[in-house]
Amino acid sequence: MTEISFDAETAAVVDRYGFDRDNFERLRDRLRRVGRGPEQNVVPGKVSPTADGDITDLPPRGSPARAALDEIGWKAIASGEVGVVILAGGMATRFGGVVKAAAEVVDGRSFLDVKLADIAVVAGRSRSKIPVYLMASFATGDAVRALGDAKRTAQVPVETFTQFVSVRVTPEAELFLGSDGKPSLYAPGHGDLTFALRASGCLDRFRIAGGRILSLSNVDNVAATLDPGVIGAHIAAKRSLTAEVVQKHPGDRGGAPARVDGMPQIVESFRFPPSFDQDTIPVFNTNTFVMDAAAIDRSFDLSWFAVSKKIDGRDAIQFERLMGQLTAFLPSHFLRVDRDGPDGRFQPAKDPEELDSRRNEIRNILTSRGVL
């Protein structure tokens, strides 16, 4: 393999955003030696469907069971124990070069504006302070920080931290150069979350201030509001991590809860053994979590996956790790929530076309919760 060297501009970026050169070289060497066949991604161990009790349903609004969970959640929020993490990284490529957090989602309101407005509603009702931590990337950090700073209040303090950066390679494990002749940089996935949250000092500051629980969701899923009932369900489950799942629709693909050697965890679709019928699992992961802050204040041996991408019309490889794999290391609870309707919590908008198809449902959900 050719030794990698960077021009001064690239070197400055990778140094600023925590590029791990030693790990990168190990991943390059692995790619060169063994390639990237799908068999390498299969999760080791015996995979079986979830058992009774692994997945619970969030009780419907208005029910006594939901009211009981709401009470638990409101108490934790009012005590200042709950914070929010919003994943606002990415590469600012899907909304016409505009950082997604700043893109309009509904009625002139941006994704981030709506997410923060929801938290402000909850903070006002609970008369508490709810800190918010925005995870941005090297490509979105400045814009996301400016957006967050503009919305910061005493009740909803906002802090922005950045995930790490890495460099794409060719299928032969050589440095991939973009159309501008420079190394092609990227943000290596949501698996950075716990590592970057700790490295930034945000997690430490949250815990020192009395924080115990973090609610986490993607900036583009504004239906995943801060819900006391969900917080209460997490506390009641007495697990370190709660992952929200929804019922599958035809054509849905994604990570799903399964048992691996008897331990329930999220398994990404490309990691299931070819012989396993994924249709036996009726739900899939929404990338919305509630986590005990103390439980994630440690390092995790998350896997790095070689992911194929088309960049400037050419094949490129980027190494990514996935946040859902935290469930392989932490006692986890899977909470089935509604996708649609007044209690719907899964309306992602990965691009303008998907947003257009969901906008009316998003508006109805946010209106019903007093956010709009």
Rg (CA), the chain: 20
The residues with which 206 forms a beta bridge, in sequence order, are none
Contact partners, residue 223, CB within 8 Å, separation at least 6: 344, 345, 346, 347, 362, 365, 366
Write down the H helix ranges in 79-162.
111-126, 141-151
Q: Give the start-to-end residue ranges of the domains of the chain.
A: 8-368
d(CA 278, CA 100): 31
Structure tokens at 340: 């649609």
Q: Which CATH architecture has domain 8-368?
A: Alpha-Beta Complex (3.90)
Contact partners, residue 202, CB within 8 Å, separation at least 6: 133, 159, 161
User: 13 or 96: whose pLDDT is higher?
Assistant: 13
d(CA 99, CA 140): 6
pLDDT at 90: 72
Least Cα distance to 136 among 149, 118, 123 occurs for 149
d(CA 308, CA 319): 9
Predicted confidence band of residue 96 (pLDDT cuts 50, 70, 90): low
d(CA 261, CA 242): 20
pLDDT at 335: 98
What are the respective helix, strand and coil percentages of the chain, to the nearest 5?
Answer: 35, 25, 40
Residue 328 has pLDDT above 80, yes or no: yes
Residue that is written with structure tokens 């890495």 in the block: 166
Structure tokens at 76: 């934790």
Q: Which residues of 50-70 are buried (b: 16+ CB within 10 A; e: fewer)?
A: beeebbeebbeeeeeebeebb
Structure tokens at 349: 């908008």
Q: Give the mean model confidence (pLDDT) for residues 8-18.
A: 94
Q: What is the mean pLDDT of the chain?
A: 94
d(CA 241, CA 323): 12
- The model's pTM is 0.95
Residue 202 has pLDDT above 70, yes or no: yes
pLDDT at 95: 74
Helix (H) or strand (E) holding 161: strand 158-162
d(CA 164, CA 150): 24
Residue 197 has pLDDT above 70, yes or no: yes
Residue 93 has pLDDT above 70, yes or no: no
Contact 42, 180 (CB under 8 A): no
d(CA 147, CA 261): 44
pLDDT at 4: 84
Least Cα distance to 273 among 41, 35, 50, 49 occurs for 41
Give residue 93's identity as a one-letter amino acid code. Answer: T
25-69 pLDDT, tens digit per residue, is 999 999 999 888 888 899 999 999 999 889 999 999 999 999 999
Predicted confidence band of residue 94 (pLDDT cuts 50, 70, 90): low
Predicted confidence band of residue 9 (pLDDT cuts 50, 70, 90): very high
pLDDT at 147: 94
